[in-house]
A and B are shown apart, each in its own frame.
Chain A
Amino acid sequence: MRNVLTIFRRELASYFATPLAYVFIVIFLVMAGVLAFFVGDFFERGQADLQPFFAFHPWLYLVLIPALSMRLWAEERKSGTIELFLTLPIRMTEAVVGKFLAAWCFAGIALCLTFPFWVTVNLLGNPDNGVILASYIGSWLMAGALLAIGACVSAVTKNQVIAFVVTAAIAFVLTAAGSPVVLGLLQGWAPAWLLGSVAGISLLDHFSGITRGVLDMRDVAYFVSIMIAFLFANAILVDLEKAE
């Protein structure tokens, strides 16, 4: 536990040691605002909620989360520090979890910094703050799931650009699987079980359930199990590939 915390602290500090953290946060906030206000008709809808704000999170994460996860292992492999890191007296699980938690916490910080939206909507009306809280939790869980996928991809390459592109592609497939476009294509000819499975693996589907204000345990379990599965794979892949 102590080692997890030590690794977590180092990783989190390393985000802030480079301009990455600030660039990420600024772009995240600006994009979230632009999408919510201009594309999501935040004001014109005349409703006091953050639905248009959260609706774009899956698409925003598609681009931004891989940027957070790409460096987790690829950078260590590139610079050779992985040899130092993994010959320290730590368990592989501690290394994997410590790194993941740092990235996840960073995503949480960026998410918390969107609080002006929440303040605005509370000043303008009486939103259901329970729904908003559930949506924030859902958004953070989704970020965690994508980060776990990204960490896993980052573990098999030295090249951060490859890690970014591959993670973004996987995230796109997972997100788009539940979009009306894909489901519409399947509707009418695909059997119901296929339609159900495709929608079922989609981040979008589970996330939109949560943003409607229902923090369903099945949705939470979905995100948590993605995290666990990919972190497990991450540990195995690092062990297999570390010296290549």
Chain B
Amino acid sequence: MLEIRHLIKHFGTLVAVDDVSFAVPRGEVLGFLGPNGAGKSTTMKMITGFVAPTAGTAIVCGHDIGREPVATKRCIGYLPEGAPAYPDMTAAEFLGFIAHIRGFSGREAQLRIGRVVEMIHIAEVLHQPIETLSKGYRRRVGVAQALLHDPPVLILDEPTDGLDPNQKYEMRRIITAMRPEKAIVISTHLLEEVEAVCSRAIIIAHGRVLADATPAELARRSRHHNAVRIVAGGGDSAEIRAALLRLPAVAAVEAIEDGEGPALLVTPRDGEEVIADVADLARAHRWPLTMLRVERGRLDDVFRTITTAPLGTTAPLGTTAPLGTTAPPSVAPDSAA
């Protein structure tokens, strides 16, 4: 559906995007992750034909954006960064304009507008000028505009930015519902969003793809993957730590203190499962446990590790994803926190 081939973009001496390649088949929601200025938006702008790449190209539904820009743009629904829309138009006028440009008129246009208005829940603001709308509604009008022609490829630059938690939930539900028929790329810096909607995540920093894997695979790279969090109500914590460290599969035991209060975090060697051993040990020593839980690993740990590593030290992970053949893996609902 969407294939990016060796996209490179230089702005003067600045290399904004440095040889980015990936493919998104139908049925996949690709999360595009990266710190600000990593090249996410620039890549999206090149896919949608707004910025001409220095080298490389994007193929959308068989059309090359460089050679057939109009045909390519027809296949794409695009929400640009910041959801720009003409402030002096009402949402209805704006969607009418987009419908016309997309080649729909009369009844067909009305039907399509009606459909997205219902889907994105913007009926109540339809006749207000866009400049008077709240940030959340403006974003939703932008998404409605991108969905109007039911495109096979959706490129959404921060679709949930500025939405309240309910609206975010709703937007993610909409994206998930569309997933089977479309190839979707969303950019975000919300890691929970990647876990909630994406079947695959690409982490990009300094214009380069540093990781390309499912969110679950990424979480597995976390130091804390399969770590065991235990809280013992009483007992000698030094003794507990010493006993835990004697387990062969345990690499480290640290005392942590986070939002959930103080606890011991037992990190296994090579991501092994150690909870059974820890539980046995606790039972044998009669520790008064109040919590015993497996941590799946946190995406934000992985994100920080990958994106703050000095350039060149992180080997790209999972760049083996074969073009066009990746079956959409199920989203692992395994955020431990």
Contacts and interface: CB of A to CB of B under 8 A. Distances in A.
A89 interface: yes
Nearest to B70: A89
A89 B89 contact: no
A83 B45 contact: yes
Contacts of B145: 84
A6 B45 contact: no
A2 B100 CA distance: 9
A81 B86 CA distance: 7
B84 A79 contact: yes
Contacts of B168: none
B45 A89 contact: no
Contact of B85 (A7, A82, A84): A84
Interface in B131-152: 142, 145
Interface stretch (A10-18, A119-127, A175-183, A214-222): A10-18
Contacts of A91: 70
Contacts of A80: 80-82, 84
A88 B73 contact: yes
A185 interface: no
A87 B73 contact: yes
B84 A81 contact: yes
A173 interface: no
Interface residues of B, number: 29
Interface residues of A, number: 23
Contacts of A6: 97, 100-101
A83 B50 contact: yes
Interface in B115-132: none
B254 interface: no
A14 B86 contact: yes
A88 B86 contact: no
Interface in A3-41: 3, 6-7, 10, 13-14, 17-18
Interface of B: 45, 48-51, 70-71, 73-74, 76, 78, 80-82, 84-89, 93, 97-98, 100-103, 142, 145
27 contacts: A6-B97, A6-B100, A7-B101, A10-B86, A14-B88, A17-B89, A18-B88, A79-B86, A79-B87, A81-B84, A82-B84, A83-B50, A83-B81, A84-B78, A84-B84, A84-B142, A84-B145, A87-B76, A87-B80, A88-B98, A89-B70, A89-B101, A89-B102, A89-B103, A90-B101, A243-B50, A243-B51
Closest 6 A/B residue pairs (Cβ): A80-B84, A17-B88, A89-B73, A83-B80, A6-B100, A89-B74
